[in-house]
Amino acid sequence: MLVAVLSDIHANREAFEAVLAAAEAAGAERFVLLGDIVGYGADPEWCAERAMALAAQGAIVLRGNHDEAVGNPSVSMNPTATLALEWTRRQLGAETRAFLAALPLEAREGDCLFVHADASAPADWNYVLDADDAGRHLAACSARVSFCGHVHKPALYCTAPGGRITPFVPVAATPVPLLPQRRWLAVIGAVGQPRDGNPAAAFALYDTENAELCFLRVAYDVERAAEKIRAAGLPASLAERLARGR
């Protein structure tokens, strides 16, 4: 089965639509959304409704910290994110708010674990930024292959002989065989707000039969997404960073 794994959509309709279209064109048979459907962008209701529709069709959809913060103002955010969330709360209907609040923090399917942040404490929203963080994550779960988001930068980690964690910087459109003698953690990157210097939306395709993972990037109408952010009265920095991928 070919599984499309997405994370950190952040209410960016243009990026979300582009990724869904690319995944479907590639033959994706299943979708996994690792959370942060809302926050930052100008289309939270549309993105939440699209995630609801995917869930109704069998997709795995998880809760991220921005989704959590919609109904839980005690979640700590920086000032810009806080302003965006205050605006987001006013845009969401009762049904989509209830949907976001009910999403699980993690999901296990076969030999795969899906989670928004670090698996050692999903509700603490810890980032996986380096090999030490990845080691903490892998020590906390038994899955052979796990996937997380939250970081907005694609990365790949695996266990090496002796237990050492080896990091990789994945190359887009280059399939990686996930060797069975190792355990793996894929940090997917962001659909709606990449932060690795590349503005193209990020996602991955996982071939469960061949145990092969391919990180991908998709161009989308960045200026349209930025215009909508500005028109909504959201912080200008949220529009400006899209073109920089930062």
Mean per-residue pLDDT of the chain: 96
Exposed e or buried b per residue across 179-197, where buried means at least 16 C-beta atoms within 10 angstroms of its C-beta: eeeebbbbbbbbbbbbbbe
Kindly state the average pLDDT of the residues 56-63.
97
Report the DSSP pairing between strands 184-187 and 145-148: parallel
> For 84-133, what is each residue's pLDDT tens digit?
999 999 999 999 999 999 999 999 999 999 999 999 999 999 999 999 99
Dump the DSSP string for 164-217.
Answer: -EEEE-PPTT--EE--TTS-EEEE---SS---SS--SEEEEEEETTTTEEEEEE
> For 204-244, what is each residue's pLDDT tens digit?
999 999 999 999 999 999 999 999 999 999 999 999 999 99
pTM for the model: 0.95
Full set of structural domains in the chain with CATH:
2-110+172-178+191-244 (3.60.21.10)
> To 5 degrees, how large is the angle CA 2–CA 107–CA 174?
35
**What sign does the dihedral 116-122-123-126 (CA atoms) show?**
negative
Token pair listed for 130: 């380096």
Exposed e or buried b per residue across 78-94, where buried means at least 16 C-beta atoms within 10 angstroms of its C-beta: eeebeebbebbeebbee
Is 48 within 8 Å of 130 (Cβ atoms)?
no
Flag whether pLDDT at 4 surpasses 90: yes
